[in-house]
Amino acid sequence: MDWRAHDRKPVSFQVRVTGFANPELTASGEAADISESGIGVYVPLQFPAGTLVCLHIKDSVLHGFVAYSIPDRSFFRTGIELVQVLIGSSNSSQLLKAALQEAMPDLQMTSST
């Protein structure tokens, strides 16, 4: 039985996740999927649920709250509920924008340029 509330769209972006209040809490990893409720990433560091984080994907910056962070092999599968997105102008950022618009049509995005 699948307990997910929303379907996930697979993606593959390199990401750096940083705690907003604690910039020393930072880890690089990979975004795995996007759903209507947020983005799933794999990072080698566990972020506590509720932590406000910044995600850097190429020249885009996404802000959100950690919904969960659970061990998965040698990484932590971390779900992040997005609240603000600043989209860059690179080709990768335009692919990210398209994926976000498809999965999260009500999410407000701003151009960072």
- Domain annotation covers residue 60: yes
Count: domains in the chain: 1
- Domain annotation covers residue 3: no
Q: Residue 50 in contact with residue 28, Cβ under 8 Å?
A: no
Specify the DSSP class assigned to residue 37: T
- Domain annotation covers residue 55: yes
pLDDT tens for 27-41 read 999 999 999 989 999
pLDDT tens for 64-111 read 999 999 999 999 999 999 999 999 999 999 999 999 999 999 888 999
CATH of the domain at 78: 2.40.10.220
pTM of the model: 0.89
Which stretches of the chain are DSSP H helices?
A: 91-103
Give residue 1's pLDDT. 38
Please give the structure tokens belonging to residue 94. 């335009």
- Tell me the residue range of the domain where 81 lies: 8-111
